[in-house]
Structure 1
Amino acid sequence: MIKLPSLGDEVSVWMDAPPAEVWDLVSDVTRIGEFSPETFEAKWTRGSTGPEVGAYFAGHVKRNGVGPTYWSPCKVTECQVEKVFEFSVGTDAVTVNNWGYRLEPKDGGTLVTEYFRMEPSLPTRLYWLVLGGLRGRTNRNGMRTTLERMKAVLEP
């Protein structure tokens, strides 16, 4: 029997900043280009202007930092101020994966967890069977880089 890699993962980093300050970074998609190694810009779309459930934005991505770029449509699916910011990636009809941030006050700062979760469709499972190990490692490294860059902004 073939064991599939997990369809998701997460990375946590403690930041010496209150949840309100961390929230301002993770929920402002227009700043993601400062932090992410793959998504170098994003913009609110379809009349959306800020974080709320149902808001749309698009992320401009360069996979693995190389190759062609493309725009990924996204929709905010969970938005609990200073607690959770999550969004789906895909079209209105098909969600490919979900990304998010969980904020937990801890030790006078905030434990920030970035996570992703692939949708368990047949195409996604096949993709993950072939490339899941490599893509998962890239995602973990990217999440750690993103969080460490945010930490550097919050802890100058």
Structure 2
Amino acid sequence: MTAIAEPTARGQVTIDAPAEEVWAYISDPVRMADFASELESCRWLDGVSSATVGARFAGANRNGWRRWTTTCTVLECEPGHRFAYSVHTPFRTPISRWEYEIEETAGGCLVTESNYLQVPSWFIPFAIMITGEPDRVGLNKTNIASTLNNLKRHVEAS
């Protein structure tokens, strides 16, 4: 499937902390699971313990009683500025791309989280059955806002 030029969901938050500190959280999916709504836990794969381009991690996700896993591959990893990864399932590769951009501001940094859905139309009924979510775009927008606000509260309280 062709990559989507515009994100299907996006959110921003200003965090009163240095970009490098915020990037340390964003580039570690194991830590980010503490702030995300659907992501329950993560673990690095293949003996890797930090983000580098090509590194893989597994995510355990939940929505109500539904549970599913994904495998993700780091696509971009620019310390202090950018972190992006693709999401794969056993049924379709890739189905989604997530990106975080960090811009320094006078008092900290602006974080932008974007999602690019890449799910083909034939897979949507299966995705709804697996996740229980008929409005993936709407839920991703809500989850992005929640994740960014949770991250902001945590980082600023540290």
TM-score (norm 2): 0.83
Cα distance in 1 for residues equivalent to 2:16 and 2:102? 12
Shift of 1:47: 2.1
Aligned counterpart, 1:70:
68
Instruction: Report the alpha carbon displacement of residue 81 of structure 1 after superposing the two structures with TM.
Output: 0.7
Letter in 2 for 1:49: S
Q: Flag as ranges the 4+ runs of structure 1 deviating above 4 A.
A: 124-128
Equivalent in the alignment of 1:3: none
Instruction: Tell me the number of residue pairs that the alignment of Structure 1 and Structure 2 aligns.
Output: 147
- SS of residue matched to 2:14: strand
Give the 3-state SS of the residue equivalent to 1:47 in structure 2. Answer: coil
Output the CA distance in 2 between the equivalents of 1:135 and 1:35: 19
Q: Once the two structures are superposed, what CA deviation does each residue of 1:28-85 show, in whole Å capped at 9, x if it has no partner?
A: 111122100100110001222210100000111003xx12212110000111111110
Structure 2 counterpart SS, 1:95:
coil
Indicate the larger mover: 116-125 or 38-47.
116-125
What is the SS of the residue equivalent to 2:135? helix
The 3-state SS of whatever aligns with 2:33 is helix
TM-score scaled by structure 1? 0.84
Distance 2:19 2:122 in 1: 37
The AA in structure 1 aligned to 2:153 is A
CA shift in 2, pair 1:80/1:37, >3 Å: same
* Alignment-mate amino acid for residue 47 of structure 2: G
Structure 2 residues not aligned, in runs of 5+? 1-5
**Cα contact 2:7–2:114 (8 A) shared by 1:** no
Distance 1:80-1:73 versus aligned 2 partners, 3 A rule: same
- Take 1:144 and 1:122, find their aligned partners in 2: how far apart are those partners? 26
State the AA in 2 paired with 1:68: R
Query: Partners of 2:119 and 2:30 in 1: how far apart?
Result: 29
Write the mapping of 1:44-63 to structure 2, written as runs, cut at 5 A: 44-63=44-63
Answering whether residue 20 of structure 2 is matched by residue 15 of structure 1, we say no
Q: Render the CA deviation track for 1:120-155: whole Å, top value 9, x for unaligned.
A: 645368889xx9982211111101110111101111
Give the structure 1 partner of residue 3 of structure 2.
none
Q: Residue 108 of structure 1: CA displacement?
A: 2.1
